[in-house]
Chain A
Amino acid sequence: MAISRRQLLTAAGSTALAAGFSFPAPAQGSPIKLGSILDNSGLLDIYGKPMVMATAMAVEEMNDTGGLLGRKIDLKQYDSQSDIALYTKYAQQLVREDKVDVVHAGITSASREAIRQTFRRANTLYFYNVLYEGGVCDRNCVITGTTPAQAVEPIIDYAMKKWGNKIYTIAADYNYGQITAKWVAHYVEQRKGTVAKTDFFPLDIADFGSTIAKIQDAAPNFVVSALVGGSHMAFYRQWAASGMNKKIPLTSTTFGVGNEHLALSAAEGDGILIAGNYSQEIPDAANKEFLARWQKKFGDTKIVHEIAISQYHGIKLWAECVKQAGSIEREAVLKVIESGAKVDGPAGQVVIEPKTHHASLDIRLMLVKDQKLSIIDTAKQRPPSDTAQYCDLSKNPDENKQFEVKI
């Protein structure tokens, strides 16, 4: 066994304590460091800004109630400006210079994959709090967002029963869209439907004229959109401008997450079907109190969206685990996580599945109406069963890959 300098010092310290020396314990007073990297500006800031606010709010709430384990929490928040290169840079900074105790970071799946291995190598516990394409199997990484089995399957199920079995998929052209489109095809084929066509679009494409004509040519029963970011919002606008929103139903796995329903007028957005963990319309007291606190701190609650809530859940969940573990050490916290840690948040209960480090969540089927996400159905505690098909961290704790569905 190799003895590190830290272990040696600890050992020396405890010997000193045992020997009856009294000296001020520095660890007790020094703050716990929580690192966060999010896109607070640029193309993806429609997602990032409310997440940054939720992060600040969660940390402030903990500090106002005495911190964690009697220590204050020091938030290191970096703005990655919608630039992947800045993610890797700040990830290095968090582990090397700031030496943080935990990281809650990343929005797009591309950003997550850019930084995940850095935290794994540095043994820094990493939370990714965003809905995504599923399949990440990494013991160092805890995920509190929804996966396709949670958000895509209910949409496909509901929409195919309601509208028919011919589907057209449009998706963002990076790992999130590519893999989500595969899951869409998987669930559609499971139900004996067909995917007429799948089109992918880079994040800066804003002209969808030819696509809208092609969709009409294929004449699907409904369209599934996994589009991402500010430019792609042009699709919904052009779709409505051509009057298609009255002709072919539109469903989405991402709509609303960037507050698209607020950027579009009611006439443009009405009728889009989505599924996810959060809507501001959730009638529970936990949600109402959360929104009231947000209102007090930031004023406008309209911008609160699902992944801001996920980020809030993630931080609260981590804090809960630290409290139970009585330590901020990675192994101790992971042990609590792997005992099925849970936390109650604005969107209901979040329970970590020990095998996958993903969360079981309440999933709501929602319809866009008057710039609001009105809930039509809620499924309590839906498990991330897609990832669970492949990933078992209790059996293979050293697994470090992202599984994809084979179609």
Chain B
Amino acid sequence: MDYLAVVLLEILYMIAFLALISAGLAVVFGMMRVINLAHGEFVMLGGYATIASWKAGINIYVAMLLIAPIVVGAVGLVVERLIVRFLYGRMIDTMLATWGLSLLLIGLVTLIFGNTAVSVPAPIPGYQIGRYQMGGYNIFIIGVTIVLMLSMWLVLRYTRVGLIARGSMLGPDIVAALGHNPRTIYMLTFTVGAALSGLAGGVLAPLTGLLPSAGGAYIAKAFITVITGGAAVVAGTLTTAGLFGTVNQLVSFASTPVVGEIAMLALAILLLRLMPQGVTGRFFRNST
């Protein structure tokens, strides 16, 4: 019984992990169709921002929940102004530019922090379920993800800002005709996407060590989650994160984490073969 609870919590954690690292990409790719290959590096930067400010004596929660998204959001803003805004609608060029950007960011972080694993200890102690000890921090990550997904959904669905953002993705001309500048909206959306990636990096920093090349571990998982999810930002991310997280952990428990990852990738291929437009291209079509 308690073993079941442990498995369930690990599944929830994996779903939260996938949703968290995909949220920023879902906004940037899902809404703007910009393939940001530097997404993993944005997550990595969030981690480094957290660790650097924690080492400077700032409270760890302030560091991960506020400073990390603000820093990476600012980086995103600069990147959008200097690079991405010239490349809207040119998918291949954007890929090339952001790939170059990802190499640049890895290089810069290596120069500043060194090519060495750094880390912060998890600020929440473990707890007990029956005869099992569990990491308390995982619960925190699940909580953060729930709040994040809920607020993204509320903003996109029920606020005027969300409506304008969704509108300009569907028909920028119409939105422009109504008096909004699509360029400004793109800029803000990209910044928000970057900030979300930074938040993910900050929140995940205590669980794994960080290397300048850590982004590579996130980007593949984030992309398969978002692409398999399809057009709806929140519903798509949640559905695929739910599917992949469950499969990954169940298989991991039955065999090893390696087979778990393979099972997850196999499922992604299968889903994309059956639903090339993503899961939300077939189901939950009118969701957000």
Contacts and interface: CB of A to CB of B under 8 A. Distances in A.
B257 interface: yes
B265 to A, nearest CB: 14
A231 B209 contact: yes
Interface string B114-136: 01111101101111100111111
Given A173-B258, A216-B132, A233-B117, A243 B209 contact: no
A211 B134 CA distance: 11
B189 interface: no
Nearest to A214: B253
B280 interface: no
Contacts of B110: 41
Given A233-B209, A234-B209, A241 B117 contact: no
Contacts of A230: 116-117, 209, 211
A242 B133 contact: yes
Interface residue tally of chain B, by bracket? 35 or more
Interface string A369-393: 0000000000000000000000000
A219 B256 CA distance: 18
Given A199-B256, A216-B133, A265 B121 contact: yes
Nearest to A229: B117
Interface residues on A, range: 35 or more
Residue with the greatest number of chain B CB neighbours at <10 A, chosen from A204, A205, A207, A219: A207
Interface stretch (B3-11, B78-86, B154-162, B236-244): B3-11
Contact of A238 (B6, B17, B131, B207): B207
B102 interface: no
Contacts of A110: none
Interface in A227-249: 230-231, 233-234, 237-238, 240-244, 247
A284 interface: no
A213 B10 contact: yes
A205 B208 CA distance: 10
A268 B131 contact: no
Interface in A193-234: 199-202, 204-214, 216-217, 219, 230-231, 233-234
14 contacts: A45-B115, A200-B258, A201-B258, A204-B217, A207-B208, A209-B14, A230-B209, A233-B119, A237-B121, A237-B208, A241-B207, A242-B133, A243-B128, A268-B121
Interface of B: 3, 6-7, 10, 13-14, 17, 110, 115-119, 121-122, 124-128, 131-138, 206-209, 211, 213, 217, 249, 252-253, 256-258, 260
